Structure 1
Amino acid sequence: MRAKITYFLTALVLVVYFVLVGSRGVLLIQHGTLLTVTFGVAVLILPVIGIWFLWQNTRFVSRANALAAELEAAGQLPVDELERDGYGRILRDSADEVFARRKAETEDAPDDWRCWFRLAVAYHDARDTPRARKAMQRAIALHEKKPVPAL
C-alpha cells in the first residue's frame, strides 16, 4: 500500500509540474516573437514526453499488478524464499540460486506467462531491473496474447 501511495503522490507532483511547464510554454508562444514561439514549442514538448512516459509506466505497473493479483488468487504467487543478511538485504548467492531455478522453469515452458512473471521477480531480486522489466513485459504480452517483445 505504501508503494501505491508513493507512486500516486509522485505522479501527482509530476502532473502539476507538467501543467506549470506547459503554461510557461503557452505564455512564451503567446508573446509572439520568433524566438519565444520557438522556445515555447520546445518547452511544450517536454511535458508531452513526460506525460507519455508517465502513462506508459502507469499502464505497465497496473498490468503487472493485475498479473500478481491473478497469481495470488490462484495460489501461485512466488514465495519469498530468499535468505537475507542482518539488515534485511537479499544475499546474492540466494538470489542467484532462485534465479537459476526460475530461468530453467521458464526455458521449459517459454509460452507460460506465469513462468515469465516469476522470472521477472527473480531478476528484480537479483537487482537486474532492465531484464526484470523486459521479462514482465513478456509475461504481460503472453497473458494478453499479444506479439511477444524480444528480449
Structure 2
Amino acid sequence: MAQSSKATARLLDKTELDLVARTQRGAIGALPDDELRDLAAKLRERRDKARDGARRQKREMRGKAEPKGAKPASDNSGTKAKADALTAALKRVGAERTRRAEKEKAPSQRSLARKALALKQRQSAAQRPASRTAGKGMRPVENPKAVKSGALNDAGARPAMMRSKIARQS
C-alpha cells in the first residue's frame, strides 16, 4: 500500500529521504541514465540493509537470535515499513529504466514514415502498366439473354410506356 509523504519522512533518514524524493514522478524523468543507475544501486543497498534489519529483529522477537542491543527488539514494523518505502522507490526506478529502454528500441515516426513511403513507391511501381493501352487485357462479353435497348418486348418497356403515356395526358 502506498504511504503518505509524512509517514515516509518519519521512517527514513535524510539521505534516504533524498534518494526517495529523486524517484518521484517529476524528478525521475529529469535524471540522466547514469544517475538513474547509481540511484538504483544506492536504493538497493539501503533496501537490503533495512530488510536484513527487519529479519534480524523478527528473529530476536521470536527468541531465535541474540539481541543486537541491550535488550531484544519488541517490534519490527518501523524497519519493515522503511524497507517497503525503499522497495517502492526502487520499483519506480526500475519502471523508468524499462520505459527508457523500450523507448530506445521503438522506431521513430520519421523512420516509420520513410519505410511506408518506400513500400508505397515499390508497390505502385509494380502495378503501373508500361504503356497507356490495355493490350491483351479484359474484353467485354455480351450477355446473350439481354434484350437490345429500346426493344418493345423488353420486360420493363410496358411500365415505362404506361408512365410516359400518363405523363403526356396530364
TM-score exceeds 0.5: no
Give the alignment's TM-score, normalised by structure 1. 0.31
Greater relative CO, 1 or 2 (CA 8 Å, sep 6+): 2
Give the alignment's TM-score, normalised by structure 2. 0.28
